[in-house]
Structures are given as C-alpha cells and as structure tokens.
Amino acid sequence: MQTRQPMPNEYSIDVQNLTKKFGAFTAVNEISFNTKKGEIFGFLGANGAGKSTAMKMLCGLLVPSSGQATVASFDINKESEKVKKRIGYMSQKFSLYQDLTARENIRFFGGIYGLSNKQIKEKTDELMERLHLTDFANTQVGDLPLGWKQKLAFSVAVFHGPEIVFLDEPTGGVDPVTRREFWEMIYATAKLGTTIFVTTHYMDESEYCDRVSIMVDGRIEALGSPKELKAKYHVKSMDELFLQLARPETVKIF
C-alpha cells in the first residue's frame, strides 16, 4: 500500500519524533502521532510517563528538545503564540478563577481570546441557559458544586471556538452522573468539528475515545481505537491493557 502524504491542515495535531529532555532524563522520547478534526483522542499513561510534558509542548508552553509538531497547522517550535490562540485548555487543577462569578469568568476568558463584548454577551446568555446555570450566573465559582464547575470550565475552554481542546483529567472526583453528562458535552463538541485531546485515569472513559495512545516511560507504547487495541493485546478491557503495558508484573486484583 502506498503511503499518502497528508495535505496541509488535514490533521489538527501532527507530531513527529517529539522529544523533551531534562538534563540526562528523557521525559518524552520521540513520540509520533496525529489527530483528525473532530476526533476524540485519549492520551493515557501512568503518573510520570510523560503525558503532562508532552501536553505542555503541544500547548506551546514548553520548547521541545527535538522533533516537530503542528497544532491547528501552526508549528509549535516557531509559532507557539499562534498555537495558544487556536486551542482551549482545561484541567482539574486550574480552570476557572474561584473568586470570580461564572459570568465574570466567561467575560475574562472571552476577552483574553479576543472576542468582542457583543459576542461575549450573546454567547454568555446562551451558554448559561444550556448549562442550566442562569440562576447561578452571579455566584462565585468557588461556591458552585464541583460537577457544575467542571462543566462550566469545559464550556469556557471551548468558548472561543478552538480547533483543539486539551482536557487534563477533567472528570477526576466528579460524581458518576455528572461524569457522564460531561462526556456527552465532549461528544457534542467533537461532532461540531473540534478535536478533543483528553487524559484520564478512568479506564472506562478511555472506551469513549475514538482512538487512544498509551505512554510508558516517555514512549507511545500502543496507539489505536479501543476495539483494535483490545483485539491486538487479547484483553477484555482497557483497564487490563493499561495494567499489562504500564506495569507488566502487576497482578490484576480488581
């Protein structure tokens, strides 16, 4: 089969041999992968496998030691400021300002991403309604339940219509109902063409992704759809696969 050269812009993220070294330690070791428009891509790995370092490079926050990557067609080495404008980001640790209200947070982030006051105002009301947050629009975010906060944070991260949104463990600690509602929001956003790049420690959530990669010691050890990977490694669940790859000697007890 002939390999086809990708057209420019075909991939929302295109990574080739990306590497990051800290002194003698190689945190990310020549990883290569790409994501398509509207794809939900799960980026898995044990703590310390190099996920956060890789993600920081893709968000333009950390300069790679070697290798190439384009994010939203911009080179992360040369055009990191342009990359930052075309992506959204949320994590469990930092997402919103706790002492601003929901409305103020939206205005703040909308302003940062260069939306006009008119655009912000129109979209804010629509968003508040969609999240059933209208009654709480003027409540400080710190006083909202975690699940609402996370849904609001996600909405803020995609507010400026980014091509890719990076989600770093977005559902940690969230109750089972809200966790599922959150994934339904992810599906809806992906359907509109936004690429979702997501890390999670919940292996059932990795099944919701179109494709996943599993990082072990700085390298991508496995890459494919959950179905393909389970068939390839002869395992029943992603949990089993993760344990097999991440620490083969660990015996399964769940």
Q: Is 147 in the site for other proteins (CB under 8 A)?
A: yes
Angstrom CA distances, 142 to 58, 130, 153, stand at 29, 20, 12
Residue 45 contacts other proteins per CB under 8 A: yes
Select the residue interacting with other proteins from 10, 126, 129, 184 (CB under 8 A).
Answer: 184
CB atoms within 10 A of CB 224: 15
Applying CB under 8 A, among 17, 187, 231, 233 the residue interacting with other proteins is 187
Does 153 sit near other proteins (CB under 8 A)? no
Q: Between vectors from CA 182 to CA 90 and to CA 36, what angle results, nearest 5°?
A: 65
Strand (E) or helix (H) holding 210: none
- Residue 79-118 contact track with other proteins, rule CB under 8 A, x = bound: -------------x--------------------------
Verify binding: residue 39, other proteins, rule CB under 8 A: no
Residue selected from 204, 228, 231, 233 as contacting other proteins according to rule CB under 8 A: 204
Euclidean distance between the first and the last CA atom of the chain, given in angstroms as a whole number: 42
In whole angstroms, how far apart are CA 154 and each of 7, 151, 158, 235? 30, 5, 6, 32
Residue numbers at the binding site for other proteins (CB under 8 A)? 45-48, 92, 145-147, 169, 172-178, 180, 183-184, 187, 191, 201, 203-205, 207-208, 226-227, 237-239, 242-243, 246-247, 250, 252-254
